[in-house]
Structure 1
Amino acid sequence: MRISHLLPLLRGELVYPGRVSHLVGAPDAVREVVRVEAGLLAGVSTPRGRAFLGIPYAAPPIGPLRWRAPQPVAGWQGECEATRTGSPAVQTIGQGRFAPVSGSEDCLYLNVYTPPGRNDAPAGGWPVMVFLHGGAFALGAADNYDPSLLAAEQRVMVVAPNYRMGAFGFLAHPDMAAEQPDGGSGNFGLLDQQAALRWVRDNVAAFGGDPSQVTLFGESAGAWSTSYQMLSPGAAGLVHRAILQSGTAVDPLSIVPVFEAERAGATFAEGLGASGIEELRALPATQIARAPAIRRGIMGPGSWGPVWGEGVIPTEPARAFAESAFQRMPVIVGTNSDEGRLFGLGIRSHGDFVARVRADWGADADAVLARYPAETRAEAQQAFADVITDARFAHPADRMRRLLAGQVPVYGYRFDDDNAPFALPHPWAPMATRAYHAGELAYVFGTRWVLANPARFAPAQAALARRIRDAWGAFARGEKLGDWPRFTAAEPAVKVLSPNGDRVEADFAERYGCAFWDARSG
């Protein structure tokens, strides 16, 4: 970010200069214009693919539209420049009056990447993959990722939307429920994702995409979102396959009923001096962004995430999946071998570890501390990493696969590269990160992102990355997955994706202590 962009940020203003794909600046890039429902879009086409960036898919959720369901985007005259990404959602690292805030409430934009040559699309169009970014429903953006290689190599179209996050996307409040009886309180970010999926249905054919072959995939909060969309009546018919990378809606700690979230939302408003939703709408975005969350979300107390019990997600997730109250489709559900090591880096002491476990697990904390003993800081970091890996990722993935098995085709994986590239230097990562949370993203996209650069791949890692992309592409195209067996109750097969050679294992549940965590799932 340039200084000229940083200065308004320091004054508390929300600005974003946008980013461009490497395709936009390529010497052989040519301008290409496509007509969508709202008007003309001017993107770029190269021999390596096409990119159309910063496409508005809904009206800006600002002013009176803050905390309302996304509204249709207004059309425009002439050509809309589509060579620079739109702003991410409002987000901050930390709380307090001086916490840095970035992004904008005007964030409902998406990016489109396709293979080269619109005329080279198959008769029915390219299959479409819609990627939902992660970030604990509080951080991140679609433009952190470059799906252009995945699109060109796998002959698929990739769409990556932003969606509202933090309090703007997942605050629940009784006033919101009263003014929007069809649902939304606590789930506006999910409604944004559905608006993006409707845009896909209505517009991808103009780029050469096939709206009848849509795979929704996401990592972390994006995976949680994908599984929630499988449960939402508003997403019915918009998605035909799903890939969950490290996150599911059946994680016991993230299952929050709307009435509980609305009580917390009323307290949140009171803490900002607002007596109701209209006074909250009048507050500056920076003030809301800097206020700490006071309810449980996907990362435990004090974070954000979706809720159930209203129109967007009517039924408690685990019950809904068990009772077949979901959109039936083939699903890949996977995790990484060492998910929690990324989070273990934040443990400062043994006391910190104990406090985190007690905050998350309450009456079960003593049993958890006994199963994961630690005394030193290093041991506490590793113990916390193991708790997060087992409880928040491995066990929910195993639970999800077992709930789906027998109802839809489901496939399991475990990403297992002990040397997955990690961008932060050693002082920031005193514990080896191994196959950490989000470590697979550089393999799925084959392009650089915040935490990893595929340029650092050894040959075996590059080969693994290609196998992963080939599997994701084949799944999106509706093809068989070669030697990857389906997960069933009788044969709980999980494919281990490793640079040392892939294999199939049947002991995933035992490896990660799923029986222990099953007993604490409620």
Structure 2
Amino acid sequence: MFGGKIACIQRQQQAAQQQSARPRSWLRGTLCPALLLGIAFALAAPADRSLAASTLVAAPDGTFQGKLDTTGTVRQFLGVRYAQPVTLNLRWKPPQPVTPSAVTQDATQFGNHCPQAFTPFGNASLTEDCLFLNVYTPNKGGDRESDRDDGRPVMVWIHGGALAVGESNEFDATKLVARGVVVVTINYRLGALGFLAHPALTGESPDHISGNYGFEDQQAALKWVRRNIGAFGGNPEKVTVFGESAGGLSTFVNLVSPTAKGLFHRAIVESGGYMLTQPTLAQAEAAGTKFANAVGCHQPNPADVLTCLRALTVSTVLGVSSFGPAPNVDGKVLTQSIAAALGSGDFNRVPLINGSNHDEWNLFVALDLDLTGHPATAATYPAVIAATLAIPPGSPAVAAVQAQYPGGSFPSYDQAVGALGTDAIFACTARFADELASEFVPTFAYEFNDENAPQNFLPAVSFRYGAAHAAEIQYIFPFASPSGLGLNLPQTPLNGNQQQLSDKMVGYWTEFAESGNPNGNDSPHWPRFHRERQVMQSLVPPTPATETNFATTHSCAFWDQLTGRTLPPGNDHDHTADND
């Protein structure tokens, strides 16, 4: 159902230009890895507060020279390598650990971001050496965490972008860090380079899997955090993984992945519930075979196919616009689909915040219809419904949706498409995930509801964007330009009421990182979500409030029936004992 996003991003792609690698002064030592590891641990041992407040930090994986931000309140450690470069023979293989170095590493500039074409949501890159992360931590003293011996809560951000575009360096962590948390933002492999499955790749794998390389990257970054974050003032036993869109989907994948067990302790999903059922490995391999055929890698010998694939230029890989990256149930990283795992309770049981935006699909209506010069009309409405929901034109489902969302009852047909796309792809799937997860873990559900949220990714269109997809990010991460060197649109700052909402949201997110419960920081009470008592927090400016009509507003009963979505029986958990 989410093919629309991938398609619209692919239509936005332009010729990628190679991003020049940042200068590095890393010297190659001649000491053996074991001795280097011992030196690194010895350097990291005196983890007192004076060391933690320095921009020179010794950690198990090495010594890193960072810098202060322009305000002097945040220490930044940028472009930290968490895995070996995935180039040459390491392309389409699991990430390999870095070797600790005795040489101080420059962590004052961002690293390369992963290969992608230019879009409004990411900047062009052809550099496969891209597995870097960034650490943002308070510059000592004055906050509630400064005297703690166990370290501050850690929040690891996974960027969105349909698993095809995006980068870690666009997100200003200042507001989060000001609340006493350590923030880590990460890159991971994207597109076909991160998610290509193929029988030849599966055949060479010791685990007989392929395709989930981007998620393995994310887990490698989480392992780096677990090993090293204590040296930066963070608590490795209090890690929150959070992300938006494909980053939210990634958070769900890690939530249910056996190989992510123990790597994090809370999860926040922003607009990531759009794909709760994943293809099988065989299905992913079939899609990968089509990709290989498209680039001429269809030799009868699997070894020759692999040689051909690894000889492709990055530009050639990016040029296959028909490939849609997605998780697959490979039997290791994912042993079952997200919905199945949440429904059975067979997942990493940590507290969960999960939510969606009130007008999610308006962003894609703008990209697919208005900005292409082809807004929906009465004549094209049925075909647009079919394309939005990835169902055959003329099927009974199209007629059912058209009856539920009569285009003439909306101000425009584009807005009708926005409403049905929001409800089908984001709102009701997020609610379904809440219903499943809340039987097993503390679950806090939200809807982002600022109808006047600034739209800083795309130009104005014929309708108001409202609380569109990605609109909530700027309330957590202030940024001057969401596209970095990309689109560079004039930016609309948050007004006073929106700043108040931003403060409340940052308070919720950081309190959750601390305790697994968002309540505190003088914000309005946010009740837990229960299957039989569906209360959500409406994130509306200036002050959030509870809402109980989400399912009705978004026609979730209709979508549950149309998709055949049903809940498993409730467990015997005593909800009356919950502190809500």
Please indicate the TM-score interval, normalised by the length of the shorter structure: 0.7 to 0.9
Q: Distance in 1 between matches of 2:248 and 2:139?
A: 28
Structure 1 unaligned spans of 5+: 1-9, 20-29, 95-99, 295-302
Query: Counterpart of 1:371?
Result: 404
Q: What is the identity, as a one-letter code, of the residue corresponding to 2:201?
A: M
Query: Counterpart of 2:549?
Result: 507
Check conservation: 1:184, 1:191, Cα contact below 8 A.
Answer: no
Query: Counterpart of 2:391?
Result: 361
Q: Distance in 1 between matches of 2:227 and 2:381?
A: 49
Check conservation: 1:223, 1:245, Cα contact below 8 A.
Answer: yes
Deviation at 1:429, TM superposition (A): 2.5
Question: 5 Å matches for 1:79-94?
Answer: 79-93=104-118
The structure 2 residue matched to 1:182, chosen from 207, 215, 227, is: 207
Q: Distance in 2 between matches of 1:13 and 1:207?
A: 35
* Aligned length, in residue pairs: 486
Q: Distance in 1 between matches of 2:458 and 2:325?
A: 29
Check conservation: 1:309, 1:316, Cα contact below 8 A.
Answer: no
Give % identity.
Answer: 37
User: Taking structure 1 as reference, are residues 246 and 425 closer, same or farther at Cα in structure 2, changes over 3 Å only?
Assistant: closer
Deviation at 1:412, TM superposition (A): 0.6
Structure 1 range deviating more: 405-414 or 374-383:
374-383
Check conservation: 1:232, 1:326, Cα contact below 8 A.
Answer: yes
Query: Counterpart of 1:445?
Result: 477
Query: Counterpart of 2:286?
Result: 263
Structure 2 unaligned spans of 5+: 1-13, 24-52, 299-304, 484-488, 565-580
User: Taking structure 1 as reference, are residues 17 and 133 closer, same or farther at Cα in structure 2, changes over 3 Å only?
Assistant: same
Q: What is the identity, as a one-letter code, of the residue corresponding to 2:467?
A: A
Q: Distance in 1 between matches of 2:439 and 2:363?
A: 34
User: Taking structure 1 as reference, are residues 112 and 198 closer, same or farther at Cα in structure 2, changes over 3 Å only?
Assistant: same
Check conservation: 1:340, 1:386, Cα contact below 8 A.
Answer: yes
Deviations 1:64-118 (A, max 9, x none): 0110000011333422111111111111258xxxxx9524211100000011128
Q: What is the identity, as a one-letter code, of the residue corresponding to 1:490?
A: E
Q: Distance in 1 between matches of 2:384 and 2:499?
A: 37
Check conservation: 2:170, 2:479, Cα contact below 8 A.
Answer: no
1:289 equivalent to 2:318? Answer: yes
Deviations 1:397-452 (A, max 9, x none): 100000011211000111111111122575x4222111111111111123434179
Deviation at 1:500, TM superposition (A): 4.5
Deviations 1:216-257 (A, max 9, x none): 0000000000001011111000010000001126545xx322
Check conservation: 1:167, 1:293, Cα contact below 8 A.
Answer: no
Query: Counterpart of 1:405?
Result: 438
User: Taking structure 1 as reference, are residues 491 and 191 closer, same or farther at Cα in structure 2, changes over 3 Å only?
Assistant: same
Greater Rg by CA = 2
Q: What is the identity, as a one-letter code, of the residue corresponding to 1:53?
A: L
Question: 5 Å matches for 1:481-520?
Answer: 481-482=519-520, 483-520=525-562
Match of 1:76, SS state, is coil
Q: What is the identity, as a one-letter code, of the residue corresponding to 1:381?
A: D
Q: Distance in 2 between matches of 1:147 and 1:341?
A: 27
User: Taking structure 1 as reference, are residues 394 and 183 closer, same or farther at Cα in structure 2, changes over 3 Å only?
Assistant: farther
Q: Distance in 2 between matches of 1:262 and 1:186?
A: 8
Check conservation: 1:442, 1:454, Cα contact below 8 A.
Answer: no
User: Taking structure 1 as reference, are residues 519 and 50 closer, same or farther at Cα in structure 2, changes over 3 Å only?
Assistant: same
Check conservation: 2:274, 2:426, Cα contact below 8 A.
Answer: no
The structure 2 residue matched to 1:330, chosen from 321, 327, 351, is: 351
Check conservation: 1:232, 1:312, Cα contact below 8 A.
Answer: yes
Query: Counterpart of 2:425?
Result: 392
Q: Distance in 2 between matches of 1:123 and 1:454?
A: 41
- TM-score of the aligned structures, taking structure 2 as reference length: 0.79
Deviation at 1:456, TM superposition (A): 1.9
Match of 2:500, SS state, is helix
Match of 2:426, SS state, is helix
1:15 equivalent to 2:47? Answer: no
1:225 equivalent to 2:250? Answer: yes
User: Taking structure 1 as reference, are residues 344 and 121 closer, same or farther at Cα in structure 2, changes over 3 Å only?
Assistant: farther
Query: Counterpart of 1:380?
Result: 413
Query: Counterpart of 2:467?
Result: 435
Check conservation: 1:101, 1:290, Cα contact below 8 A.
Answer: no
